[in-house]
Amino acid sequence: MMVKNIVIALGFLFVSCKGSTQSKKEMETAKADSKESTFKVVKTDAEWQKELTPEQYYVLRKAATENPFTSEHLKNKEEGVYVCVACNTELFKSETKFKSGTGWPSFYQEIKGNVAYDVDYKIGYKRTEEHCATCGGHLGHVFEDGPEPTGLRHCINGVALKFIPAKK
Residue 115 found at the interface with Fe ion (CB under 5 A): no
Instruction: Give me the least distance between CB of 27 and Fe ion, in Å please.
Output: 29
Residue 161 found at the interface with Fe ion (CB under 5 A): no
Residue 139 found at the interface with Fe ion (CB under 5 A): no
Is position 84 annotated as part of the catalytic site? no
Q: Lay out the site mask for Fe ion across 67-106 (x = CB under 5 A, - = otherwise).
A: -----------------x-xx-x-----------------
Residue 60 found at the interface with Fe ion (CB under 5 A): no
Q: Among 56, 96, 100, 134, indicate the residue that binds Fe ion (CB under 5 A).
A: 134
3-class secondary structure for the chain? CHHHHHHHHHHHHHHHHHHHHHHHHHHHHHHHHCCHHHCCCCCCHHHHHHHCCHHHHHHHCCCCCCCCCCCCCCCCCCCEEEEECCCCCEEEEHHHEECCCCCCCEECCCCCCCEEEEEECCCCCCEEEEEECCCCCEEEEEECCCCCCCCCEEEECHHHEEEEECCC
* Residues lying near Fe ion in the complex (CB under 5 A): 84, 86-87, 89, 132, 134-135, 137
